[in-house]
Amino acid sequence: FAFTCTVSSLDPALLLRAPAAQSPTRLSGQMQAQGELRPRVQAQVRLNLTDSTALGRPMQGQVQLDFRPDDSVRIDAALGLRRATLTARGTLSGVSGDATQAIVLTLDAPDLAELGTPLELSAPLHGTLKARAKSSGAWRTPAIEASVDMEALRLGEQSIKSIAARLNYSGGTEGMLAFKVEAQEHQHPRGAAFSLTRATLSAQGTLPALHVEATGTTRSGATLALRASGQRVAGQSAWQGSLDALSVDSPLEAQLIAPAPVLLALDHFAVGPLALKVHDGRVSDVLIDIRPHQLETRGRFDALSIPMSGNNDEPRLTLRGQWSLRAAEALDAALHVERISGDVHSGPSTRRVHMGLS
């Protein structure tokens, strides 16, 4: 067979029956293909893009694909989106899984803001991005080595000095996976308590069963650590397991009492019910469920103490109660609080005025 076609302002979403994007892709150019379907598929495909757009930005480039009788695929592609460039070169092995055959992808974006505003963010994301990925072995279940480095990130009033991510996957359907991402010097406009000097997220195991750990340290010195484990939900793009450990030190002083169920999917996050020890008090029956355009949370607390001044000798205000909130098309919320001991006061310590809370 052999054919040549020319396209003008083609929207790929129409072919994939995908929802229309706010900044749709429009492809213009020429495609040529020739080859044989029997006895084994072998074909050469050439695509030359001109006057095209992606994410509402001008795009151009060339793609060459060679499908060979041994089921391998050779790729030579280079695309440009404003100053950002994406290249893919090499050969992916067929069913033989030849580890010496590999394809290397590189992405270089001098300014992420040129690529548009991702994930419906209210402000453009600035910064640089450099990524490299090597895929080897059978192209259906390849081994992957990947790295991503971002620097000088800025979104509105927040900034991050650097983010580095590394991924290694041994290949196959149940290969070993090791992933780590580290962020440095996060600045939040609300100050040190909301800013991170360092944060890490790592995962190890296999795709069916992963162990995840995360740590973070704020500029005010507080640290957070969590550990979770679980497995992929069969037939779904979801991960289900348990939150095994969670701790936050001063000033919150919170610690997970027992493992709690957790679910993570592309469009759904849920954790709980869980129980936390907070100082000498307890927060229990906590549930958090987040879906597109919907948030639900509930729980209860008991013997929760709140310092009303910097003087540790003064009695703390101690409370118990419960809450529930569901935010979707309508907002439904309730908060019930009871005083156990202590009081609310105002004024300097020399002339403290107690409010007589009962």
Return the H-helix or E-strand segment holding 15.
Answer: helix 12-16
Q: What percent of the chain has pLDDT over 90?
A: 39
Q: What is the mean pLDDT of the chain?
A: 84
**pLDDT tens-digit readout, 273-283:** 999 998 888 99
The C-alpha angle with vertex 72 and arms to 69 and 74, in degrees rounded to 5, equals 110
Instruction: Indicate the pLDDT class of residue 10, thresholds 50, 70 and 90.
Output: confident
Contact 151, 176 (CB under 8 A): no
Tell whether the model's pLDDT for residue 183 goes beyond 70.
yes
Structure tokens at 309: 């001044």
**3 state DSSP class of 334:** strand
pLDDT tens digit string along 83-103?
A: 899 999 998 776 666 667 788
Is 347 a residue whose pLDDT tops 90? no
CA separation for the pair 216, 223 (Å, rounded): 6
Amino acid at 118: P
CA distances 148 to 132, 162, 208, Å, are: 7, 11, 24
Instruction: List, for residues 218-269, the tens digit of each pLDDT value.
Output: 888 889 899 999 988 877 778 899 999 999 887 678 899 999 999 988 889 9
pLDDT of residue 128: 94
pLDDT of 315: 67
3-class DSSP state of 48: strand
Residue 356: is its pLDDT beyond 60?
no
CB 134 within 8 A of CB 103: yes
CA neighbor of 67 nearest in space, from 85, 48, 49, 41: 41
Range list of H helices, 205-257: none
**Confidence grade of residue 341 (pLDDT, cut at 50, 70, 90):** confident
Asked if 261 and 244 count as a contact pair (C-beta separation under 8 A), the reply is no
